[in-house]
Amino acid sequence: MNISLSKIALGTAQFGFNYGVLNNSGQVHPDKVKSILDIAKNTSIDTLDTAAGYGNSEEVLGRAGVDNFKIVTKTRSIQLGVDNVLTSFEQSLEKLQVRSVDGLLVHNIDDTQDKEFGTLYRELNGLKKDGLINKIGFSTYTPEQVNFLLDNFDFDLIQVPFNVFDMRLVKGGQLQMLKNKMVEVHARSVFLQGVLLDFNNLPSYFSAWQKEFKKYQAMVDSSGLSLLEYALNFALNVKELDKVVLGVDNIKHFADIINLPNTSFNLEAFDIDDTDLLNPSFWN
């Protein structure tokens, strides 16, 4: 166990449904979830990332037992009404079998445009005062969304996409601005849903970037690291990131991650400024 495990948060979408463009194992079986959580508990991984919208992920976690973890979960859509969002959060606590969570993120940033969002945000701050939530925040997909939040809200926590291909928040200065405002930053998509770990079995959609992928693999080869080592260590060594959210498909995958050697020297980014690649919602 050599890498900086305390900076890893365990993503749990795979515990609730079949998630990830290269996930061939399907949803993780509940028995395996318990084993993965036990391994995390015995290392210094202390944070779990889940959501009301991740299938039955919250229930699976609750049954497995999550008392020793900090939990970050996410809201349902405000289109169902403010009361329904709050009721859904109460149900999240029940499913997780916890009294409070470390973080609650607004899952869909478009909810901020709803005329009732001001009411919801006041309610969330009330839940924070009551000790049911430690940090309030947002899940984001683009630098423009981060800019909008920085201009319009006080918040404690943000989840952003970040990986060796995706330097938008570094070049735009948003990561530094978030740190200046003392916002806790969690990075997801550090393996770009598995793309960064296996370039040989990608769907045809990704053939547009074949040339870039070859150059990137040559760069990784010359570093002496595996694709997994490079992508993960790159993210872990970015000082503005507080947590790196990793989803795991199975116990072996998790073991591979926690036994990686720590590479503290600066690894180069491989900047591909193309949202058709960087934003999975555009993939087909």
CATH number, domain with residue 221:
3.20.20.100
| pTM of the predicted protein model | 0.94
Q: Which residues constitute the domain of residue 160?
A: 5-282
pLDDT at position 23: 45
CB-CB contact of 47 with 69 (8 Å): yes
Query: Which residues, 6 or more positions from 50, have their beta carbon under 8 angstroms from its beta carbon?
Result: 12, 13, 15, 16, 57, 58, 61, 71, 72, 73, 74, 96
**158 pLDDT more than 50:** yes
Residue 223: CB atoms within 10 Å: 14
pLDDT at position 264: 65
As a whole number of Å, the end-to-end CA separation of the chain is: 37
% of the chain beyond a pLDDT of 70: 95
pLDDT at position 260: 86
Residue with tokens 């793309």: 195
DSSP state of 234: H
CB-CB contact of 189 with 163 (8 Å): yes
pLDDT at position 283: 93
pLDDT at position 111: 97
Mean pLDDT, the chain, as a whole number?
93
Q: What is the pLDDT of residues 129-139, one digit of tens each?
A: 999 999 999 99
The total domain count for the chain is 1
SS3 for 223?
helix
**94 pLDDT more than 90:** yes
CB-CB contact of 116 with 84 (8 Å): no
Residue 52: CB atoms within 10 Å: 21
Res. 1 pLDDT band, cuts 50 70 90? very low
Question: Tokens representing 70?
Answer: 């900090």
pLDDT at position 229: 94
Q: What is the pLDDT of residues 201-237, one digit of tens each?
A: 999 999 999 999 999 999 999 999 999 999 999 999 9
Res. 249 pLDDT band, cuts 50 70 90? confident
CB-CB contact of 101 with 50 (8 Å): no
